[in-house]
Amino acid sequence: MFGLDKKDTTLLIVVALMVLLAPFILNPFPEGSAMAQFNAGYPDLMQRFVIFGIFAIGFNILFGLTGYLSFGHAAFLGVGSYSAVWMFKLLSMNIIPAIVLSILVSGIFAAVIGFVSLRRSGIYFSILTLAFAQMSYNLAYSVLTPITNGETGLQLSLNDPRILGSSATADGSIPVTSLFGLEMRAAEQIQIGPWAFQFSVGFYTCAIIMLIAFYLSIRIFRSPFGLMLRAVKSNQQRMNYTGLNTRPYTLTAFIISGMYAGLAGGLLACMDPLAGAERMQWTASGEVVLMTILGGAGTLIGPVLGAGFIKYFENIFSKINESTLDGWFSFLPDGLQHAVVWVADHFVGSGWHLTLGILFMLVVIFLPGGLVEGGQRIYAWISGSKRKAKAAETKTEPAE
């Protein structure tokens, strides 16, 4: 199906079902209940899940297949966002031209940076990409202010000379991004008993694009080109000794990865037409590295899981404050309650990074293959238990 074998087709269908049914899966607790705090089925967060999933999928094509660790991929995310907003300002509010421009500009930018950075490997390559990203970040704040609008960030205004669209709506407000008339911010809420499920045009647009990006990554992983990249990761020096020039392959992988990042940046701007230099900061590059390693570098679904995991912690655990904890532990005696709340408060709210850091350490130590390896171990344990039970049932005693 779609040129994939049975295993990859099954994986694609599972990912598609998980993404398309996300409004139900991410809202397991009734509205108003104590556990509703952990629901993540609202449009803004679901959009970030799939957008950063695209970012991580693209990064995995470079890092997971070739072993080249880039610390500057956020530069392409920022370039994609700026490109999309400029398209909204100059052409129209349709997201298709904005996405196309984001991919093209990011690809060109990645070709330039990759051409220089890939002259080195290992830690030197990582430092070069980090240097380019920080240069881009500082340029966006200073020299390129006429293009990026500096600290304020690039955003839409009523004075934009939009060629294929109006600069203002009938009520005098700025038009919203759309897909052939379907507004990205449009959402429908369905109430089923105590549960409220939200279905957003923006989320499903991003979800479909993510599924296409995921499908393309599968084809890349299974292609002869993907096998060549795996060989580069295995032993690039040996390949060079055979007379094979590996630079065109690694540069192509770098460009593809940068285009994925540009697509993610463009989608961020499509959902919220604002681009700032903070998207190009080194912390954003470090975040996609964490996503990929946490999920499972070199695996297909791992980066998607890692992106969802980190964005869930960032948006859900960071909202748990002291008053929420007081409500949860109100059944305890006053002295014990205050002590428990004081300890827990260091791991949630503004301290959510500590919890994420501990989890990341545990995954790296006990699951080097990331969350995917954890799932494989659980599956193997369940399968082994079933086989043992079946063998016990069919075991016969010898006749006396």
What confidence tens digit (pLDDT) does each residue in 195-223 have? Answer: 888 899 999 999 999 999 999 999 999 99
Residue 397 has pLDDT above 70, yes or no: no
> How far is residue 61's CA from residue 52's CA, in Å, rounded to a whole number?
14
pLDDT, residue 1, reads: 65
Pick the closest to residue 187 from 315, 307, 312, 23 (CA basis): 23
List, for residues 133-173, the tens digit of each pLDDT value: 999 999 988 888 988 888 888 888 888 888 887 777 777 78
Average pLDDT for 110-126: 92
> How far is residue 268's CA from residue 52's CA, in Å, rounded to a whole number?
9
pLDDT, residue 338, reads: 87
Q: Which helix (H) or strand (E) holds 265?
A: helix 247-271
pLDDT, residue 399, reads: 46
Q: Are 47 and 200 in contact (CB under 8 A)?
A: yes
Question: Mean pLDDT: which of 20-34, 67-81, 159-173 is highest?
Answer: 67-81
Residue 314 has pLDDT above 80, yes or no: yes
182, β-bridge pairs: 179
Residue 138 carries which side chain, given as an amino acid letter? N
Domains of the chain and any CATH numbers? 6-303 (1.10.3470), 320-391 (no CATH)
- Summary mean pLDDT of the chain: 88
pLDDT, residue 350, reads: 78
Residue 36 has pLDDT above 90, yes or no: no
Residue of higher predicted confidence among 77 and 348: 77
> How far is residue 101's CA from residue 108's CA, in Å, rounded to a whole number?
11
pLDDT, residue 52, reads: 94
> How far is residue 341's CA from residue 35's CA, in Å, rounded to a whole number?
17
Crossing angle between the packed helical segments 282-295 and 122-141, to the nearest 10 degrees: 140
Percentage of the chain exceeding pLDDT 90: 40
